[in-house]
Amino acid sequence: MNTIALTFRLLWLVLDNTFRNPLRTILTALGTVALVLVVTLVYTVLNNLDRITQEKSSNLKLIATEKWQIPSQMPYRYVAGLSQGAAREPGDVKPEDYMSWGFFAGSTDSDASSRDFNSFLFAFVMEPEKILTMMDELDELSPTSQEYKELKAAVDRLQDNKRGIIVGLERLAKLNRKVGDRITLYSRNYKDINLELEIVGTFPAGRYDGSTVFRRDYLNAALDQYKQEKGTSHPLADKSLNLMWLRVPTREAFNQVATQITNSPEFSSPAVKVETASSGIGSFLDGYRDLLWGAKWLLAPACMATLALVISNSISISVRERQTEFAVMKVLGFQPFQILLLVIGEALLIGLTSGFFSATATYLVINEGMGGLPFKIGFLPTFDVPASAIFWGTVMGGGTALLGSILPAWSARTVKVSEVFSRVA
């Protein structure tokens, strides 16, 4: 009973002491909030990169690209065989779904000298129906959701209109256009191919804000027309397939399809390689290896060390000011370890509370207010702050508080009653 009472007494003292000097508590808490914010942002980026480079075991997307060269440029005729996973023999595995990717960069400005980023447009060229079944995140929209219904309507319009184009909200704003407008797209990579397009819809807000999609058969028709007019094929006519995505149900099916494609003589010139989406992203991120290493092993630890110093400083000031109080507590019967716990408890209360507050506020502001953390590297999407960041932010605040308070707490524990009272006297 005594122990429980003493524990409650200590907890009360921790709470009471924390608010004894509200200014110091607030300053320490604000310092913690700021530094936990940085660590939470670093954690968000690293956690999301880990997630997207993590190999899945089911519902895998297989990426087929040109084996040796970047950017991958394959002949469009590869689609027929790749969409079947190069299955030729009985027992060969076929993919559940597929999507072909072409990339078309252009500008709505006819004058090459005045083109700027606002008139720039980078379009995915693909089969319209695949937008709903194969594109990341869009293939996970609930058919009952408003976002899905609006997108489905846009896709239907794209299927009805060969010259249709779906434009992301941000890109639409940059182009200063609206749904229903017609644009002429002057190509940058497909020389002398200019396309007349009609904006038929937009993507749901978020990942595809800057993206656009138009129909593959429209590009194919434009390339055919080029040949009729110029008497020769367009230089990219046989290089218009940039990527191929295949959906396979399991890891085994992935391995089987990969083997079928790799061994198929149909895909030898140029040779094709297959990999999972996560593996492809992993290779892409290798270019940023040192930067990510720095974020993980320099930035985050430095923030935590700074935080520990800020808390340690605050607690040590507090301990020095309260030497007499600790001496009195000892006289009243408090054990040295209880005094140690008291000081650590005060630090932990500040660290845990402000760590939790900082991480939760970051979670809410970024996920709900900003629609994700924009990580503008390559094609990577915006990153949501994971719910686990709230836990780790709290732990981070508490952990650094513990680390920073150990020495001051030890010094409080070892206060000598006789010395303190002789000084007072």
* Site membership for other proteins, residue 424 (CB under 8 A): no
Segment interacting with other proteins (CB under 8 A) among 131-139, 163-171, 188-196, 388-396: 188-196
* Site membership for other proteins, residue 30 (CB under 8 A): yes
Q: How many residues bind other proteins (CB under 8 A)?
A: 59
Segment interacting with other proteins (CB under 8 A) among 243-251, 255-263, 282-290, 381-389: 282-290
What whole-number distance in Å separates Cα of residue 21 and Cα of residue 200? 62
What whole-number distance in Å separates Cα of residue 247 and Cα of residue 158? 23
CB of 309 to other proteins, least distance (A): 4
* Site membership for other proteins, residue 307 (CB under 8 A): yes
* Site membership for other proteins, residue 257 (CB under 8 A): no
* Strands in 202-294 per DSSP E: 212-215, 243-250, 272-276
DSSP string, 364-420: IIIIIISSSB---STT---BPPPTHHHHHHHHHHHHHHHHHHHHHHHHHHT--HHHH
Segment interacting with other proteins (CB under 8 A) among 81-89, 125-133, 164-172, 301-309: 301-309
* Site membership for other proteins, residue 302 (CB under 8 A): yes
Which position has the token pair 């094929």?
Answer: 233
Q: Which amino acid is at 407?
A: L
Among 23, 80, 332, 424, binds other proteins (CB under 8 A): 23
The residues near 272 (Cβ < 8 Å, ≥ 6 apart) are: 64, 65, 66, 67, 74, 78, 82, 261, 262
If the CB atoms of residues 108 and 306 are measured against other proteins, the closer one turns out to be 306
Cis peptide before 204 (omega within 30 of 0): no
CB of 335 to other proteins, least distance (A): 25
Q: The tokens of 97 are what?
A: 């779904």
Cα–Cα nearest to 238, from 76, 56, 376, 1 = 76
If the CB atoms of residues 249 and 294 are measured against other proteins, the closer one turns out to be 294
* Site membership for other proteins, residue 71 (CB under 8 A): yes
* Strand 58-66 relative to strand 243-250, pairing: antiparallel
Footprint of other proteins (CB under 8 A)? 23-24, 27-28, 30-35, 37-38, 41, 67-71, 73, 103, 105, 112, 117, 120, 122, 187-189, 191, 235, 270, 273, 275, 282-283, 286-291, 294, 298-299, 302-303, 305-307, 309-310, 312-314, 316-317, 321, 376-377
